[in-house]
Amino acid sequence: MSEFLHQYAFLIVPIIKVAILVLVVLTVDAYLTWLERKVIAHIQARWGPHRVGPHGLMQPLADGLKFIFKEDPMPANVDKPAYFIAPFVALMLALTSLAVIPFGPQKFTLWGYESSLGIADVNISLLVLFAITALGVYGVALAGWASNNKYSLLGGLRSSAQMISYELALTLSVVGVLLIAGSFSLREIVEQQGTSNLGFLSWNLFGFGHGIGFTQIIGFSCFFIAAIAETNRVPFDLPEAESELVAGFHTEYASMKFAMFFIGEYTSMVAVSCLATILFFGGWLSPFPASWTFTYYVPSLLFIPFGLWMIYDGIHYENIFGRIVLPGIGTVLTVVGIALILFPPANHLLQGLFWFALKVFIFMFVYIWMRGTLPRFRYDQLMSFGWKFLLPVSIANVVLTSAVILWRMH
């Protein structure tokens, strides 16, 4: 048994990692929807989902079941192959993009096969990521074209145009970071952000790790805006502008196919957030200088109070189910927090993941926040903004950064 494992570890370990990742990502997506609805509701002074489970915590589950069991009608004379392929393309590419993202610093050895946190650790991971993002267009375009529906077609064309337009800005805004890091490997990019002992100041966003002048704030701004556009989110969500295109390219899709688009979108949101975290926010690095060892207890300091609050809040919940579930979760969190204090190795293991997750969560929140806040762009505004403002600015950023680097070299 074990020698079998040892022999084929190079296959088995990645498979396991992929399984775990997919599960996690799907769950995260599901609860992102819940989070989004909740947050927007509260922004709009509503309750949001509140029926299914306490605080509507079971809502995603219900939605999933609904998606699975719903009828899947197919419009007349659509282009079948394209119609079927499109959602798969969308979802698959989105998931694949996560494959090259490193989630933590650690390398561990399982059955004599050394691997890292993260599926594949290729040394051009960033390029691969962009390559996959570039292909992301097809899902939308094909869907829009195949549905044999003018609104869908318009939506598809719009989103494709939007994607390739902002892809340029996206890629170029990253070049600054690449110039500083001198590598395509995300892991190396993160690591070189931690070289100095300045904490968050040495992140590429501020760039003090290398001395004054390497700040990538411009780059980050361009990147984030372009990323939003890439993922068709507000305020760039024209492809699915209900008011004008009745939901754009996925108008004709129902049930599971629609779900695929949906999941794909959220996954790509996650992926982009991870990317932003890695490139500009030091990935899994903690915002404090590495020498401040006491900061290792920050996770616990977050978990324990939150858990205690949940217990307190839970026991006052109106229905019995909630009174059981919420305190349970609270207990778990508190226990984890205490455990982290008690077992430093585990704590050490979790540090990277914690900070990474926290940063990504913040990004997701910003996404949702913007959706609750900003109005939608007009199409021509979108295009002219992308081509006439974003692209030049990111190019200027590249020139600036390379100039600074040259200046520093001499």
Under 8 Å between Cβ of 288 and 295: yes
Task: Please report whether residue 385 would count as binding other proteins according to CB under 8 A.
Answer: no
Task: Please report whether residue 271 would count as binding other proteins according to CB under 8 A.
Answer: no
Task: Please report whether residue 138 would count as binding other proteins according to CB under 8 A.
Answer: yes
Nearest to 29 by CA among 359, 260, 299, 332: 260
Choosing from 84, 111, 113, 184, the residue that interacts with other proteins (CB under 8 A) is 184
Q: How are the residues of the chain apportioned to helix, strand and coil, as percentages rounded to the nearest 5?
A: 75, 0, 25
Residue 114, strand partner residues:
109
Instruction: Write down the least CB distance from residue 135 to other proteins, Å.
Output: 5
Choosing from 128, 170, 177, 326, the residue that interacts with other proteins (CB under 8 A) is 128
Instruction: Write down the least CB distance from residue 182 to other proteins, Å.
Output: 8
Task: Please report whether residue 230 would count as binding other proteins according to CB under 8 A.
Answer: no
In order of 113, 276, 297, the CA distances from 18 in angstroms are 16, 22, 30
Instruction: Write down the least CB distance from residue 79 to other proteins, Å.
Output: 7
Backbone phi, psi, residue 351, to 5°: -50, -55
**Which one, 31 or 84, has the nearer CB to other proteins?**
84
DSSP 101: -
Task: Please report whether residue 238 would count as binding other proteins according to CB under 8 A.
Answer: no
Nearest to 254 by CA among 25, 69, 37: 69
Under 8 Å between Cβ of 149 and 252: yes
Tell me the per-residue interface mask from 24 to 43 with other proteins, x by CB under 8 A, - otherwise: --------------------
Q: Which amino acid is at 273?
A: S
**Which one, 153 or 368, has the nearer CB to other proteins?**
153
Instruction: Write down the least CB distance from residue 181 to other proteins, Å.
Output: 12
Instruction: Write down the least CB distance from residue 137 to other proteins, Å.
Output: 5
Nearest to 180 by CA among 391, 409, 402, 396: 402
Nearest to 158 by CA among 169, 143, 148, 173: 143
Task: Please report whether residue 145 would count as binding other proteins according to CB under 8 A.
Answer: yes
Choosing from 52, 124, 383, 395, the residue that interacts with other proteins (CB under 8 A) is 124
Q: Tokens standing for 96? A: 């694949």
Tell me, by CB under 8 A, how many residues bind other proteins: 30
Q: Tokens standing for 165? A: 């337009």
Task: Please report whether residue 93 would count as binding other proteins according to CB under 8 A.
Answer: no
d(CA 163, CA 151): 18
Task: Please report whether residue 151 would count as binding other proteins according to CB under 8 A.
Answer: no
Task: Please report whether residue 79 would count as binding other proteins according to CB under 8 A.
Answer: yes
Task: Please report whether residue 67 would count as binding other proteins according to CB under 8 A.
Answer: no
Task: Please report whether residue 381 would count as binding other proteins according to CB under 8 A.
Answer: no
The contact set with other proteins (CB under 8 A) reads 79, 81-82, 85, 122-124, 127-128, 130-135, 137-138, 141-142, 145, 153, 156-157, 160-161, 164, 167, 171, 182, 184
